[in-house]
Homo-oligomer: A and B are copies of this chain.
Amino acid sequence: MLKDIQNEADGRGVDIQNVGINNVRMPFLIKKEGGGFLSVVADVRFTVSLPKEYKGTHMSRFIEILTEYGQKPLAEEEMAAILDEALLRLDASTAAIKFSFCYFVEKTAPVSGGKALLDVPCFFVGEKQLNAPLKFTLGVDVPYTSLCPCSKEISAFGAHNQRSVCRMRLSFAPEYECIYIEEAVRMVDRTASSPVYSLLKREDEKFVTETAYQNPKFVEDMLRDMVLALRPLPGLKYFFVECENFESIHNHNAIATHEEYL
């Protein structure tokens, strides 16, 4: 029989906080807001703690667990189950997993009503100990349009505007459900100078141009309005929000971040 080197004793006395696999790409199913699910390609990081007595963990078991879950729509419940399986099969006290993927929401053009998908980079992070509730974090990066209030105020005509992104990380108390990705997108769309869309006909382009011009926002304004929008979410225990404008007049970006424990 082949020797199990990983199972050997280790004499260095160092507990390892996280060990496992990274950059595993696999297709997964994500539950959509209105029912049904979306097939996404996730980049996965999946680790456990390793007590000081053991030389190594068993890397192939992470892949076996992920492979089992490739066909089931994935939400908080399934992430808890994945982590529990890792805790048991790898004899660990803590386990953590991160799924990073591109999600899609359908957007309806504001005047023509044309529909098309918008790509939204997201992640799910889960952390768990045995017999403890799942700590779940949702990450959503929502693109939007920002228009500069200073540029509008001081210029005889026009105002510089640009593609921007609002990155949210949200954790809710265990007894509360996390919001859907679709809701995170709507929060940004309500707050931005204008939402972005994949499909815009001429009448829509007129609408978003004028909307942005009438709603100028500094990166600080967008951040503050997102802070005010996030605070009242039922059960929200922690949020981080970062707004970044890919300035049209510079080759660098304006950025603002804020985090709170509620």
Contacts and interface: CB of A to CB of B under 8 A. Distances in A.
A200 B60 contact: yes
Contacts of A212: 158, 160, 248-249
Nearest to A193: B248
A249 B149 contact: no
A248 to B, nearest CB: 5
A36 B34 CA distance: 26
A19 B256 contact: yes
B59 A254 contact: yes
Interface of A: 2-6, 10, 12, 14, 16-27, 38-41, 45, 47, 50, 55-57, 59-60, 63-64, 67, 70, 102, 104, 114-119, 143, 145, 147-163, 194, 196-203, 205-206, 208-210, 212-213, 218-221, 223-225, 227-228, 244, 246-259
- Lowest 7 A-B CB distances belong to which pairs? A158-B213, A39-B39, A25-B119, A19-B256, A155-B209, A22-B255, A143-B251
